[in-house]
C-alpha cells in the first residue's frame, strides 16, 4: 500500500494531531497519508469518493462519536467504494466494517468504575495512578472481507479476538 486515507473530524481536538503524527510515522515507510476531514455525516460519501479518486489502498476512520453513530453507513459506503477500512472499535465491525483494533472498552469502563469506587471510599483522585489500557482487541468481519474480495491471512485470523462470519 502506497496511500492511506484517514477520515477524521475537525471538531475533535485530538484528530488533527493524530493525523500529523501518522504522517510522521508513515512518511519514512513510503506511505502517503490522504487527509479526509469530515465535518458532518453528509460528507461521508464524498470522503470515500475522494479516497477512491486518490487511489487510497485503504481507509482508517479515527475514533469519534459521530463516526460511531453512523457506523452502519460508514461500513456500507466503504464496501460500495471497494475500500478496506479500519475502525476504532468493535461496534463498527459488528455493523459491517472490515476490521478494528482498539482498547477493550468493557475493560476501560471497569477501570473507571474501580477508580470511582476508590474515590467514594476516601482516596484522593490526585493520588490515584493513571492507567493506560492493558487489553486491546482485534475484530475482523469475514463477510465484509469476502464482499471486498479480500483473503485474510490465517495467521491474522488466529490472533483475532473475534471473527464475524
Cα distance between residue 114 and residue 92, in whole Å = 27
DSSP 147: H
Give residue 120's pLDDT.
95
Whether residue 1 is predicted with pLDDT greater than 90 in this model: the reply is no
pLDDT (average), residues 18-28: 88
Q: Give, in order, the Cα–Cα distances in Å from 140 to each of 47, 117, 150.
A: 23, 34, 12
> What does pTM read for this prediction?
0.85
CATH number assigned to the domain covering 3-103+136-164: 3.40.50.2300
Note the pLDDT tens digit of each residue in 65-112.
999 999 999 999 999 999 999 998 899 999 999 999 988 888 888 888
Amino acid at each position: 500500500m502506497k496511500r492511506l486515507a484517514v477520515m477524521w473530524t475537525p471538531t475533535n481536538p485530538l484528530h488533527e494531531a493524530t493525523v500529523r503524527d501518522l504522517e510522521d510515522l508513515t512518511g519514512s515507510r513510503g506511505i502517503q497519508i490522504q487527509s479526509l476531514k469530515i465535518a458532518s455525516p453528509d460528507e461521508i460519501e464524498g470522503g470515500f469518493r475522494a479516497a477512491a479518486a486518490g487511489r487510497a489502498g485503504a481507509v482508517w476512520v479515527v475514533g469519534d462519536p459521530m463516526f460511531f453513530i453512523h457506523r452502519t453507513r460508514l461500513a456500507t459506503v466503504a464496501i460500495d467504494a471497494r475500500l478496506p477500512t479500519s475502525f476504532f472499535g468493535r461496534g463498527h465491525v459488528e455493523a459491517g466494517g472490515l476490521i478494528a483494533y482498539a482498547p477493550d472498552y468493557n475493560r476501560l469502563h471497569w477501570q473507571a468504575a474501580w477508580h470511582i469506587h476508590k474515590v467514594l471510599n476516601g482516596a484522593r483522585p490526585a493520588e490515584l495512578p493513571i492507567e493506560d489500557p492493558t487489553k486491546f482487541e482485534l475484530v475482523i468481519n469475514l463477510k465484509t472481507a469476502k464482499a471486498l474480495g479480500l483473503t485474510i491471512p490465517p495467521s491474522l485470523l488466529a490472533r483475532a479476538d473475534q471473527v464475524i462470519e
